[in-house]
Structure 1
Amino acid sequence: MSIGAEIAAHLPFLRRYARALTGSQSTGDAFVQATLEAALADEELADSLREGRVPLYAAFNKVWASAYMEVAENDSGGNGHEAAARDQLKRITPLNRQALLLTTVEDFTPADAAQIMDVSESDVDRLVQEAVAEIQRENTTSVLIIEDEPLISMQLEDLVRSLGHEICGTAATRTQAKEVVAEKTPGLVLADIQLADGSSGLDAVDDILAIDTMPVIFITAYPERLLTGDRPEPTYLITKPFQEDTVRAAISQALFFGSTRPLD
């Protein structure tokens, strides 16, 4: 397999990680693009990417960390928008959240995550424990679940409640979602892509975001279709079948960025 084909196979999932890490499709995809450009400019780095996902994510992590450090070192002046952008970038830095996303959403082993982050495996274990403890202390919100499979909907309800959040409502179709939001605006939405009556969770979310802005996590069995790098695409994406730890991490990260729009 050529190096281009090798990298292409992993790109959708690197985009998923980058978007969750930065809270933005456009920012996350830009960091992925910067990683690819760095590989093109460095033959040794390009060769290392033949070894699979771990070197690719490690290369991304170096690009991302370097950009953050540059912003932090030059944190002065600028207009209000630029200052807000710098403040937002600062919020993506905690190592414990990186470790949690890598070991849950991206399903890396602690050893692989340690290599990606350039820390020890024991550090990764400690950071994940810290992140889990943070989740337990987070502020709660109301959650709308848009899911047409009853068992999955109930599983998500139980999980959301176990995190201390309340259920704003559940919906199996686009119309039902609109009816729920007409009564109460949620603080977070968990949405399946394909709904019971053939309607789309993407369209249902568009209806909701026309009323107010809140973070949205999409759930799909075909994540590659929504991780192409085109716009707009979801910022937060969970693959079916999902692990509960993955959902917990995604909810925590979405709420970490507050009202950041899920589609740029």
Structure 2
Amino acid sequence: MTETVGQTSIADAIGRELPYLRRYARALTGSQETGDTYAAATLEAILEDRSLFEQSTSPKIALFKAFNGIWVSSGAPVEGAKGEPGGSSGSAEDRAQWRLAGLTKNTREVLLLHAIEGLTTEQIGEVIGVSGNEARELLDIARSEMSKAVAGRIMVIEDEAIIAMDIMAIVEQMGHTVTGNARTRDAAVELARKDPPDMILADIQLADKSSGIDAVAHILKEHGDVPVVFITAFPERLLTGERPEPAFLITKPYSEEQVLSAVSQAMFFSSTETLLT
């Protein structure tokens, strides 16, 4: 009976944190499919060895620590990149890996764990196996390296004027150019036709009750694959793993650092040829 209760307790704890592991894994890999594959491998590892989940300070730390073990054992793949940023000789994945190979080890992980998942540097150290001070140093390096990585033209889809202005200001401070802001699905489609973006930052629920997801889907159909960061107050609804879902997701209310991190990560995995590097 005790073992059954223990298993149920672990299952409940994992269930509560799993959407956020998916968010982290997708942002880290730049892909829903790849990120969810890593998340699934983490669950399989915990099923085989429950001690992976029992030797941490909290269920979330335990889950992310187990994931990190899988990620590291796979080589945290940045090796063997053949493409050049902005070049046409390699695939989109090659170009992304070329950029990633130039970053200091563990910096992306630290940045995402802090900015997107809200972990402290002490918690991050526990997840990736370094001290809190080392995690703090890596975070400083990450902020510097990612901010200088890639710049492009970004379209904002947001129906709340103050939030739109804030996001646009953050994006411009990063060195990107904002093509404009759209408050509805139709306005977003029209703006993209007038000034095709290198990247899209989109709210889910728009002013006229239209969908930011529908707007983005239409734009991508017309203009091809560009990176997208979605913003929502209910991230768990888009992190089920049961359907096509975003690789990059910011939760409302967001912080400036979350926007900085998500935009930088999305740019890294961009397949857009026109990005400035």
| TM-score between the two structures when normalised by the length of structure 2 | 0.85
- 1:220 matches 2:227: no
Give the equivalent residue in structure 2 for 1:244.
256
CA shift for structure 1 position 122: 1.6
Contact 2:78–2:100 (Cα < 8 Å) also in 1:
no
Letter in 1 for 2:181: T
2:241 pairs with one of 215, 218, 229: 229
CA shift for structure 1 position 48: 3.8
Give the equivalent residue in structure 1 for 2:27.
20
Letter in 1 for 2:246: P
The range that moved more, 3-12 or 87-96, is 87-96
- 1:257 matches 2:269: yes
The range that moved more, 213-222 or 119-128, is 119-128
Give the equivalent residue in structure 2 for 1:32.
39
Q: Distance in 2 between matches of 1:146 and 1:191?
A: 4
CA shift for structure 1 position 231: 2.0
Match of 1:129, SS? Answer: helix
Q: Distance in 2 between matches of 1:244 and 1:70?
A: 28
Give the equivalent residue in structure 2 for 1:178.
189
Which aligned pairs between 1:73-222 and structure 2 lie closer than 5 A?
A: 94-210=105-221, 211-222=223-234
Contact 2:26–2:248 (Cα < 8 Å) also in 1:
yes
Q: Distance in 1 between matches of 2:99 and 2:149?
A: 15
Letter in 1 for 2:19: P
- 1:10 matches 2:17: yes
1:41 pairs with one of 45, 48, 67: 48
Evaluate the alpha carbon distance shift between residue 87 and residue 204 of structure 1 in structure 2; reply closer, same or farther with a 3 A threshold.
closer
Match of 1:238, SS? Answer: strand
Q: Distance in 1 between matches of 2:56 and 2:206?
A: 38
Contact 2:93–2:269 (Cα < 8 Å) also in 1:
no
Evaluate the alpha carbon distance shift between residue 256 and residue 88 of structure 1 in structure 2; reply closer, same or farther with a 3 A threshold.
closer
Q: Distance in 2 between matches of 1:217 and 1:71?
A: 22
Evaluate the alpha carbon distance shift between residue 61 and residue 168 of structure 1 in structure 2; reply closer, same or farther with a 3 A threshold.
same
Deviations 1:19-48 (A, max 9, x none): 000000000000000000001111322434
Deviations 1:128-169 (A, max 9, x none): 111111133223211100000000000001111111111111
Q: Alignment identity in percent?
A: 45
4+ residue stretches of structure 1 with deviation over 6 A?
A: 83-87
Give the equivalent residue in structure 2 for 1:80.
none
Letter in 2 for 1:226: L
Letter in 2 for 1:44: S
RMSD of the alignment, in Å?
2.3
CA shift for structure 1 position 90: 7.6
Letter in 2 for 1:40: L
Q: Distance in 1 between matches of 2:74 and 2:249?
A: 24
Q: Distance in 2 between matches of 1:163 and 1:71?
A: 24
Unaligned runs of 5+ in 2: 1-7, 81-90, 273-277
Contact 1:194–1:201 (Cα < 8 Å) also in 2:
yes
Q: Distance in 2 between matches of 1:243 and 1:90?
A: 29
Unaligned runs of 5+ in 1: 76-82
Contact 2:204–2:230 (Cα < 8 Å) also in 1:
yes
